[in-house]
A and B are shown apart, each in its own frame.
Chain A
Amino acid sequence: MSAALFIDVQVKESVARDPEIAAKLAEVCPVDIFRAGPGGVEIVQDNLDECVLCQLCLRVAPAGSVKVIKLYDDGAVLGA
């Protein structure tokens, strides 16, 4: 699968390096967009378009630290 067409996900750098949050994000995402790597949160680009907009990632990370952006909706931010 090539680059995502519909969804982008951004994680604040300070949070992205937190191994606990990385593990939580990897655990809750039903479509494996997050991976807990040695440096913290990694975004699996190939899975971005699988996002089902469930907002679980928004709930386990500190408020505002994870952004799910709908590229098809003028960059609307999920849950904003």
Chain B
Amino acid sequence: MRFFEYESRAVVAKAGIPVTKHGFARSPEEARTVAEQIAGPVVIKSQVLTGGRMKAGGVQFADNPDEAARHAEHVLDLEINGHMPRGVLVDSRASVKHEYYAGVVWDGLRKQPVMLFSDMGGIDIEEVAEQHPDHVARAHFSTTRPFSDWQAKQLVASLGITGSALNRLTPIIARLAQLFLRYDMTLAEINPLGELEDGSFVALDAHMDMENEARPRQKALLHELGVGDEETRQAREATPFELAGEEVDAQDHRGVAGNVTEFDGNLGLVIGAGGGSLTLFDAVRAHGGQPANYCEIGGNPSVRKACGLAKLVLQKPGVDKIAVMMSIVSNTRVDIVARGVIKACVELGYDPAEKIAIFRIPGAWEDEGFKILEKYGVEYADRSVSLHGAAKRAVEKIQGGAS
């Protein structure tokens, strides 16, 4: 889940990283008050969960509180990429000598967080990494062993930074890495990290993303930041179809049958297992299919949950058939999923043999599962057919004529 900049600033400050004087305002009057408190030139920044603020006019500079209030009025009414601002951040304009970049991001391939540091801040780190790779330092660190400041020091020093700057930057990077771990972040970024004329460093902007599954154990932080349970903080609001998927999954604690994402194709997907959903979704597209949805099923859900998910997908407008496919790695019982999807078809008045383009779940209790599928005439595949092979069959079937 994403945080607004004013929330990210609060997280950074809570971790002991210096930030510029700032305040959050929901009205021009509040913006004026904050500017008065700062007592100097300020920047008014739109608080939206999208990029491109500067280009859209969502960042304005003001020399006095009156100007700050005027700019805030304009920015508060400004829609950016379809997002209306939550408020504005009124930030003091610091006299910056040099801008750096500091970030920690989860490396999915290494299964470890990686610290990133650059002496070219204020611009996209991806751009710096591409055009000036020698200006980006990286260092992975453990999520299980205690973090040590020397790891941060080594990172900063690797770019040739020495002396006072090195000593002042080290605790900032170390605290960023520690907050990343403490708060289950997937991204913790300070960009730019400004070096002021007096040689001190302050976070001028911050960006935080937290692992969505960590919300329950990060309740205290979320409460402190004023983030409500109802705020999804996803890239877009969930559709009614996706919300219905959440309800199916919440029916009981057994397994997973949800995490539904809506697309506009005609092939409904009941897919899952240890990364299998992504592989299968891609496989369907690679073979020219048009998925109606993404979802995840696994961990032995109840028949009721599997049935609920299949019903939801089957009833989605535009869905002609469903493909039920999983990798073997989840060890989810084949017979339970078979019962669920067949029950969904029958209860909706469909012939399972017609509606289920392919059933490819090998693994636990597959003999029982295959008996069920045979009884209802559903085409199924065992482990001798690859995920890609199964996806291909499903696409061919739906392209051959809808039921």
Contact = CB atoms under 8 A, between A and B. Distances in A.
Interface of A: 1-2, 5-6, 31, 49-50, 52-53, 70, 72-73
Nearest to A6: B339
Contacts of B346: 5
Contact residues on B (Cβ < 8 Å of other chain), bracket: 10 to 19
B371 A49 contact: no
B336 A73 contact: no
B338 to A, nearest CB: 9
A35 to B, nearest CB: 17
17 contacts: A1-B304, A1-B307, A1-B347, A2-B347, A5-B339, A5-B342, A5-B346, A6-B339, A6-B343, A31-B302, A49-B303, A52-B336, A53-B365, A53-B368, A72-B371, A73-B371, A73-B375
Contacts, number: 32
A41 B339 CA distance: 25
A30 to B, nearest CB: 10
Interface of B: 302-304, 307, 333, 335-336, 339, 342-343, 346-347, 365, 368, 371-372, 375
Given A49-B303, A72-B375, A73-B371, 15 more contacts: A1-B304, A1-B307, A5-B339, A5-B343, A5-B346, A6-B343, A31-B302, A49-B339, A50-B302, A50-B303, A50-B304, A53-B335, A70-B368, A70-B371, A72-B371
Contact of B343 (A31, A49, A52): A49
Contacts of B303: 49-50
Contacts of B343: 1, 5-6, 49
A9 to B, nearest CB: 15
Nearest to B371: A73
A77 B126 CA distance: 63
A2 B304 CA distance: 11
Nearest to B339: A6
Given A5-B346, A31-B302, A72 B307 contact: no
Contacts of A52: 333, 336
B372 A72 contact: yes
A41 to B, nearest CB: 22
Contacts of A1: 304, 307, 343, 347
A42 B375 CA distance: 29
Contacts of A5: 339, 342-343, 346
A2 B365 CA distance: 24
Nearest to A1: B304
Contacts of A72: 371-372, 375
Nearest to B372: A72
Nearest to B336: A52
B134 to A, nearest CB: 59
